[in-house]
Structure 1
Amino acid sequence: MEKRSRKLSDVLKRGYSDEEVSHVYELGRLYLESGDLAKADSIFQGIVVVAPDFWPAWLGLSYIAVVTERFDQALNSARSALRVMPDSVEAVLFLVSSLISSGDFNTAGSYLGEIAEKIESGGVDNPNVIRFYRAQLARYENRT
């Protein structure tokens, strides 16, 4: 994921370096990967308080909200990630996932079309992102 630097004043005000925030985020990811959503959620919530511009934590919160069927919260978290990193295809895909889960297929389809264009033009070449795109496209196409 792309790293976005914070202003020195933000770091000093909150008391955490970018490296410390990244390490705490990795701990949250470990909890997430092991299925401990409550601990991961708590860590990601703390990160966005301390470093609201750390967009991967917003994506973690969006993922947890989708899994726990809190779709409004998933949408809000994905949108927060996009506010911080508007060019992030990953954040758009989390938004698409949240939109599909909440039943907003029209908006999700529009975003999927935009991402398809980026993939076809070579603007997206990360295989993990392309797999995530294909998974969301399959969900979109198989909606009931």
Structure 2
Amino acid sequence: MNNIKFTVKADVEEYEVELYGSFQTKGFSGKGSGYFGISQVIEFCQKAEKIAETMDEKAELAGLTRRSDGSIFLETFVIRVYPLSTSKLNGVVGIHITLGEYPSSDCREEEKLKVSGEIQTRNQHLLQFSKDIRALLSGSVKEVILDKGVDII
């Protein structure tokens, strides 16, 4: 059985939110977090809802750690959403999750911890996930869980 699960929690401040994620897929697991402006998260939710309705375009919410030269050192909390089919009624979407933890002692590449994987689910589940993330921002829910829909592949 493929147990795939993505859990999100939030620490909401006035204009900023730290999203905490944990991801389990096929025996692998990991966690990470990223800081975002609340408006960034709302914009991501709007794009995800549009994808669920139109089955077109892509959306990304990316929490990154950069090197001093501006290049990406580590993706700490990234959600990428994209359609896998064009059906608006029962469409399939891919939700690619990447979570990473910053090294504890220094910036060696070998010390990074990260997990990355895809959840394939129906567009209705993406729509609900987006609504749940908004509820997380408002404080009306404590966590959001997205798991692999049993009606998919």
TM-score category of the 2 structures, normalised to the smaller one: 0.3 to 0.5
Q: Which has the higher strand share?
A: 2
**Higher relative contact order, chain-length normalized (CA < 8 Å, sep 6+):** 2
Given the two structures, how large is their TM-score scaled by the length of structure 1?
0.34
Given the two structures, how large is their TM-score scaled by the length of structure 2?
0.32
